[in-house]
């Protein structure tokens, strides 16, 4: 099945910097989700988006559901060391949920 | 606390052996899923079940089998037919809402290694 195109694959940033990552798809989704995964653990939901154009924040995280319903981005402001991990986007349409390959974030103190 | 419990956390399999990974949830969720995760790749769907006694193949079902005899439980068996089973396996569940779904709740995963 088709997976989402998530970029960048990895990021190395300094503590305090802002981060941006995005996902695109050739298919339309009704819901976009962003997850964070710590090593050896399951992904944890960060933000869920349900409407095209929707912009949602969760603390230092902001995500948007693209107007075309084929893309989404996640921003993290003022990064801190505990932001380290792999961030996954997911698009859902009915019973079909597809995941990006993940963005591996490293934050240097 | 409600959640999904996967066990064991680490599992070692010999060549030609079948092994079963456990997934139990107390969230009263209807749908349950099994995903495989390999380094540098997204999650790939193995099997899913929307109701008890019913399940469907995902994108990479070959070499795997499942059962759904109870709403709370969705075990995955990795059979000897799966030629490259070393991976991180994630179980997830989702509640069905009239307004839509609300994303997956994931277990903490099982790392399977062939020795």
Q: What is the pLDDT of residues A35-56, one digit of tens each?
A: 999 988 999 999 999 999 999 9
- Residues 6 or more apart whose CB falls under 8 angstroms from that of B11 comprise B19, B21, B110, B111, B112, B113
Nearest-CA residue of chain B relative to A91? B103
> Are A95 and B50 within 8 A, CB to CB?
yes
Decide if B48 contacts B59 (C-beta within 8 A). Answer: no
Q: What is the mean pLDDT of chain A?
A: 92
pLDDT digits (tens, 9 = 90+) for A55-70: 999 999 999 999 999 9
Whether the upstream peptide bond of residue A91 has omega within 30° of 0, thus cis, is no
Mutate to test the interface with A, among B43, B48, B58 (most CBs of A within 10 A): B43
Q: Which B residues in the span 35-94 are in contact with A, Cβ-Cβ below 8 Å?
A: 40-45, 48, 50, 58-59, 90, 92
Chain A residues whose beta carbon lies within 8 Å of the beta carbon of residue B101: 31, 92
pLDDT score of A94 more than 80:
no
Tokens of A102: 């993940």
* Confidence check: pLDDT of B102 > 90: no
Task: Give the pairing type, strands B10-13 and B110-114.
Answer: parallel
Q: What is the pLDDT of residue A108?
A: 93
pLDDT in tens, B71-88: 999 999 999 888 899 999
Query: pLDDT tens across B16-36, in order?
Result: 899 999 999 999 988 999 999
Q: Is A18 helix (H, G, I), strand (E, B) or coil?
A: coil
Which residues does residue A57 pair with via DSSP β-bridges, in sequence order? Answer: A62
Mean residue pLDDT of chain B comes to 90
Residue located via tokens 């990895």: A10
Is residue A70 within 8 Å of residue A27, measured between CB atoms?
yes
Q: What is the pLDDT of residue A6?
A: 95
């Amino acid at each position: 099945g088709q997976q989402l195109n998530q970029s960048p694959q990895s990021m190395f940033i300094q503590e305090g910097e802002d981060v941006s990552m995005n996902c695109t798809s050739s298919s339309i989704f009704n819901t976009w989700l962003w997850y964070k995964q710590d090593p050896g653990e399951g992904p944890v939901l960060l933000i869920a988006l349900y409407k095209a154009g929707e912009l949602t924040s969760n603390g230092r995280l902001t995500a948007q559901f693209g107007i075309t319903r084929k893309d989404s981005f996640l921003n993290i402001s003022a990064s801190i060391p505990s932001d380290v991990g792999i961030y996954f986007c997911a698009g859902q349409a009915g019973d079909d949920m597809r995941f990006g390959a993940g963005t591996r974030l490293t934050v240097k103190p | 606390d409600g959640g999904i419990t996967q066990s064991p956390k680490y599992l070692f399999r010999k060549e030609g052996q079948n092994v079963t990974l456990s997934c139990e949830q107390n969230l009263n969720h209807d749908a349950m899923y099994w995903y495989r995760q390999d380094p540098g790749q997204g999650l790939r769907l193995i099997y899913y079940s929307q109701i008890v006694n019913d399940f469907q193949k995902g994108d990479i079902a070959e070499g795997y089998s499942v059962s759904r005899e109870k709403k709370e439980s969705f075990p995955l068996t990795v059979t000897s037919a799966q030629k490259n089973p070393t991976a991180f396996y994630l179980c997830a569940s989702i509640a069905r809402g009239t307004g839509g779904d609300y994303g997956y709740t994931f277990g903490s995963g099982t790392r399977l290694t062939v020795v």
